[in-house]
Amino acid sequence: MQSFAFVVNGAEIVVTVPPETPLLYALRNDLALTGTRFGCGDGLCGVCTVLVDGEPRWACQLRVWEVEAKRVETVEALIAEPRHPLVTEVLAGNAGQCGYCLSGILMQARALLDRTDGVPDRAAIATALAGNLCRCGAHGRILDAIERAARTIAEAA
């Protein structure tokens, strides 16, 4: 076991785990941040997407030692008040069906909106989400919700 310090959703934390522990497991099992989901465990589905220093990464593919001293953001940061417009619009539009994919998609979309001036076009949103699978086929409603959230953010700027 070894201790690793990093920042999660703005809070400095320390976890004591075997160094090869996937970040996903540390988030879910040691920090009770279960919004980040386990899917394939192999970097193929995107449900475990978190931001590390603002960049979207698969938490199942990162070892805890790789995020030491870095900033990790999970979907819980978007859900906390004041709720991020992405969450508001996904809920308002019933964008998900089972919802399993949504925490990863929300984080991927957050990264896109953070790096985009104004409202990204539909193709740019779809490209950004190419690695985030939705087995329910709810992509259309999810893209709609992201577009609405982007407009809300742009209008408030």
Q: List interacting residues with ligand FES (CB under 6 A).
A: 38-41, 43-48, 58, 60, 96-101, 134-136, 138
Instruction: Using DSSP bridges, classify how beta strands 2-8 and 71-73 pair: parallel, antiparallel or unpaired.
Output: parallel
Which residues have CB under 8 Å from 78's CB, separation 6+?
A: 84, 86, 87, 106, 107, 110
Closest CB 28 distance from ligand FES, rounded Å: 11
Nearer to ligand FES, 57 or 84 (CB): 57
Nearer to ligand FES, 71 or 131 (CB): 131
Closest CB 22 distance from ligand FES, rounded Å: 9
Helical (H) or strand (E) element with 8 = strand 2-8
Closest CB 38 distance from ligand FES, rounded Å: 5
Pinpoint the alpha helices (H) of 34-92.
75-79, 85-92
- Residue 26 has a CB neighbour count (10 Å cut-off) of 24
Nearer to ligand FES, 5 or 98 (CB): 98
Nearer to ligand FES, 77 or 142 (CB): 142
Closest CB 82 distance from ligand FES, rounded Å: 25
In whole angstroms, give the CA distance from residue 77 to residue 87: 10
